[in-house]
Amino acid sequence: MKIADRYAAVINWFETNMPNPQSELNFTTPFEAIVAVMLSAQCTDKRINQVTPALFKRFPNAEAMAQSTEEELLSYIQSVSYPNAKATHLLGMAQQIMEKFNGEVPSDFELLQTLPGVGRKTANVVCATVFNQPAMPVDTHVFRVAHRIGLCTSKDKTPFEVEKRLRTYIPTEILSKAHHWLLLHGRYVCTARLPQCDKCGIKDFCKNRPKGERSPQ
């Protein structure tokens, strides 16, 4: 199966079966979103959603958080992964938003990456989920699924290379939606261990389909 045909088949299946995928992180404002996304690095959305209600109540905006301390922030996020580093990044992020962006989370991809703790993936997620911009964040789920089902090649060894490959074949207008498709598929079906191939709606197009099943030519 040619890669372009695989993309077309996969996109068609998701458009039919998952037309409106949504982020599983809970947030209501751009500031809450960037905080939640920063906290979610190497941590589950479920855990973050348990932590953020109290955090958002205490720090509803960048101004409130910028006046806090790492110690106070740490007391709210102790149960997430790498809490010390994340407390440092959250405080620095909030302070820079106040100092450089008048208290508003920037919508520009490059400007987002100037904030402490915000790398390419986090900036992409914020652009996609908050500002409805075409973006393809590549986390561990997207990276694994793209390789496993054959949306990229063995030459695509880094998240950035996978992102470029996906951007090449996925129409710009559905790029952010496609990110959620691949992420959710990897989280619940095409899991790292024991992928649930029997429940997979796109297994007919998968490069690594279960043994004994012929791949479309």
Judge if 122 and 141 occupy the same domain: no
Domain stops at, among 99, 129, 159: 129
Active site residue 139: yes
117: Cβ contacts below 8 Å, ≥ 6 apart: 38, 85, 86, 88, 89, 90, 92, 93
164-189, pLDDT tens digit by residue?
Answer: 999 999 999 999 999 999 999 999 99
The one-character DSSP state at 199 is: G
Tell me which of 82, 98, 129 is where a domain ends: 129
Same domain, 158 and 182: yes
Active-site residue, from 86, 108, 139, 199: 139
Instruction: Count Cα atoms within 13 angstroms, Cβ side, for 94.
Output: 24
Dist CA 216 CA 205 (whole Å): 7
- Whether 210 maps to a domain, the answer reads no
Q: Which one of the listed residues 86, 121, 177, 203 is annotated catalytic?
A: 121
The verdict on 89 and 162 lying in the same domain is no
Q: Are residues 49 and 108 in the same domain?
A: yes
Reported as a pLDDT band with limits 50, 70 and 90, residue 1 is confident
Asked if residue 173 lies in contact with residue 167, where contact means CB atoms within 8 angstroms, the answer is: no
Alpha-carbon span 160 to 36, nearest angstrom: 22
The pair of three-digit structure tokens given for residue 56, joined into one six-digit string: 């958002």
Specify the 3-state DSSP secondary structure of 6: helix
Here the CATH number for the domain that contains residue 194 is 1.10.1670.10
* 8 Å CB contact between 56 and 33: no
Write the CA distances from 98 to 1, 43, 197, integer angstroms. 51, 27, 48
User: How many structural domains comprise the chain?
Assistant: 2
Last-in-domain residue among 85, 100, 129: 129
CATH number at residue 58: 1.10.340.30
Within a domain: residue 164?
Answer: yes
Is 156 in the same domain as 109? no
User: What's the whole-model pTM score?
Assistant: 0.87
204 is catalytic: no
Give the model confidence (pLDDT) of 120-145 as tens digits. Answer: 999 999 999 999 899 999 999 999 99
- Asked if residue 216 belongs to a domain, the reply is no
**Does a structural domain hold residue 94?**
yes
Residue written as token pair 């950035």: 160
Does 121 lie in the same domain as 59?
A: yes
Domain identity same for 34 and 124: yes
Q: List the domain range (segments joined by +) for residue 184.
A: 3-21+137-205
Query: Does residue 208 carry a pLDDT above 60?
Result: yes
CA 212/CA 208 separation, integer angstroms: 11
Q: What is the mean pLDDT of residues 198-215?
A: 80
Mean pLDDT computed over 34-58: 96
Q: What percent of the chain has pLDDT over 70?
A: 96
- My answer on whether 164 and 188 are in the same domain is yes
